[in-house]
Amino acid sequence: MAKNTATLTTRRVIFRDSITFLSLTAITVVLFVVTLFLFRSFQQHRTELAKRWSDRGVAALQANRPDQAVTCYRTALSYAPGERSYELNLAEALAQAGRTEEAYNYFIGLREARPGDGFINLQLARLAATKHDAQGAVNFYRASIYGDWEGDGAKRRRDVRLELARYLIKQKQLGPAKTELLVVGGNAPDDPELDVTLANLLEQVAAPSDAMDFFQKALVHQPDNQIALSEAGRLAYRRGDYSTALALLERAVKRQPGNEENTALLMKTRRILQLIPSETLRAPERVDRILIDRAIAKARWNACAMQSDVSQNSLQSLAARWMDPDATASRSALLHDSDKQKAALQLIYDTEIQTSQHCGAPTGDDALLLLLAQSSATKGGSH
């Protein structure tokens, strides 16, 4: 009997302990579930707050209030520490707020984690340029070009290389800038807009031949591209390639007759082609043009002599040359003597150059003859 009583007591104790254990377990589970729910709710609330502050930062930047955006992004990061998009936004906001040193240091910190990030290196290049650190800017630009990009990496790298070329032009580093531009042109798809951009930039780096190549490339794919026609025509005119300029400007004016600048330049081009005593002309026509040009230059000399001190050395020498019998050589004499033709042309060109220095800038036909004179001097010979 005593044994049964002990067994029953033991069973009751075990049952009570089991109930207690199960109760504690259930309470623990409930507390865990409640804690987990509260934690997740708290985390979700923090995420929502971070997103809300980030959106405020975006709105502040759009409203051109970068300082306010800095505060918003800092607050967003306090709710979502280490969120890369917010960190990048904060760094950009610092840069837009003019807090260059802070932005630079912030981006440097971000770069330590991702040294090959194209976007971060691009931002550092721009900030280094703002800090007048030319070598640093170039290094970061190159790191950006060869870095990692999300999305259309080829286009982004091309855009960065163009930006680098523009920066090098500002730094007067025309040789390296030209190299970057030619790399872009060599790797780019057929894109007339890009070709025109490259042509304009190549002009700035003193590469007119390359510039003309890209203008012509644009016109191959878009023969009616008004910008390419106009700018290529003006470039050809500046280079002294008046036949090419005429063809391009005629097309430009035909498609846009209301463009006064193109129309005026076309008229100048036609006139200068009438004045050029080209060696490719038949002798009678070449001599006729020399005589027309000589009359224009003589009138310019007469007008200049009346308002200037001819006793000056350069003008005195020019006056003596106009008094020489060769200055009035007849058509027949010129026609049969190529040396007299060259001497007459030299007198014409020297007159236009020297009178422009002593009597002000020429106009009309004299201005066109001055262009021919300067072109002749550059080429080291006559037209």
CA-nearest of 187, 219, 215, 222 to 201 is: 215
The residue among 31 and 91 whose pLDDT is bigger is 91
| DSSP string of 34-72, one letter each residue | HHHHHHHHHHHHHHHHHHHHHHHHHHHHHTT-HHHHHHH
Q: Which amino acid belongs to residue 212?
A: M
Q: Over the chain, what is the mean pLDDT?
A: 88
Count of H-run helices and E-run strands, the chain: 18, 0
Q: Which of 28-37, 73-82, 101-110, 158-167 has the highest mean pLDDT?
A: 158-167
Tokens representing 102 are 């802070």
Domain that holds residue 289: 284-379
The residue among 37 and 108 whose pLDDT is bigger is 108
Q: 233 near 219, Cβ under 8 Å?
A: no
pLDDT at site 30: 67
pLDDT at site 62: 84
Question: How many distinct structural domains can be found in the chain?
Answer: 1
Note whether residue 288 is domain-resident. Answer: yes
CA 220, CA 156: separation in Å to the nearest integer?
26
CA-nearest of 259, 196, 278, 210 to 239 is: 210
Q: 242 near 272, Cβ under 8 Å?
A: yes
Note whether residue 351 is domain-resident. Answer: yes
User: pLDDT tens, 152-170?
Assistant: 888 999 999 999 999 999 9
Note whether residue 309 is domain-resident. Answer: yes
Note whether residue 352 is domain-resident. Answer: yes
Calculate mean pLDDT across residues 126-140.
Answer: 96
For residue 175, pLDDT beyond 90: yes
CA angle 179, 185, 188 (to 5 degrees): 135
pLDDT bucket at 307, cuts 50 / 70 / 90: confident
User: pLDDT tens, 314-332?
Assistant: 788 899 999 999 899 999 9
Beta bridge partners, 117, equal 148
pLDDT bucket at 35, cuts 50 / 70 / 90: low
Q: Rounded to 10 degrees, what is the CA torsion of 33, 35, 38, 40?
A: -70
User: pLDDT tens, 257-284?
Assistant: 999 999 999 999 999 999 999 989 999 9
Note whether residue 348 is domain-resident. Answer: yes
Calculate mean pLDDT across residues 367-375.
Answer: 93
CA angle 200, 206, 208 (to 5 degrees): 60
Note whether residue 190 is domain-resident. Answer: no
| DSSP string of 245-265, one letter each residue | HHHHHHHHHHH-TT-HHHHHH
CA 324, CA 329: separation in Å to the nearest integer?
9
For residue 356, pLDDT beyond 60: yes
pLDDT at site 90: 79
Note whether residue 321 is domain-resident. Answer: yes
pLDDT at site 83: 77
Sign of CA dihedral 332, 338, 340, 345: positive
SS3 at position 98: coil
Q: How far is CA 247 from CA 74, 102, 196, 251, 292, in A?
A: 60, 55, 18, 6, 25
Question: Integer distance in angstroms from the first to the last C-alpha of the chain?
Answer: 140
Q: How far is CA 143 from CA 28, 68, 118, in A?
A: 55, 31, 7
In angstroms, how far is CA 44 from the centroid of its own chain? 46
For residue 183, pLDDT beyond 70: yes
Tokens representing 63 are 């409203």
For residue 286, pLDDT beyond 80: yes
**17: CB partners within 8 A, 6+ apart:** none
What does the DSSP 8-state code read for residue 2?
H
pLDDT bucket at 61, cuts 50 / 70 / 90: confident
User: pLDDT tens, 97-112?
Assistant: 889 999 999 899 999 9
For residue 382, pLDDT beyond 60: no
Q: Which amino acid belongs to residue 296?
A: I
For residue 230, pLDDT beyond 90: yes
SS3 at position 13: helix
For residue 20, pLDDT beyond 70: yes
For residue 2, pLDDT beyond 70: no
Tokens representing 246 are 């005429």
Calculate mean pLDDT across residues 57-84.
Answer: 81
pLDDT bucket at 78, cuts 50 / 70 / 90: confident
Note whether residue 344 is domain-resident. Answer: yes
CA 19, CA 16: separation in Å to the nearest integer?
5
**49: CB partners within 8 A, 6+ apart:** 76, 79
pLDDT bucket at 76, cuts 50 / 70 / 90: confident
Least confident of 67-71, 96-100, 187-191, 313-317: 313-317
For residue 381, pLDDT beyond 90: no
CA 72, CA 262: separation in Å to the nearest integer?
52
Least confident of 37-41, 188-192, 332-336, 362-366: 37-41
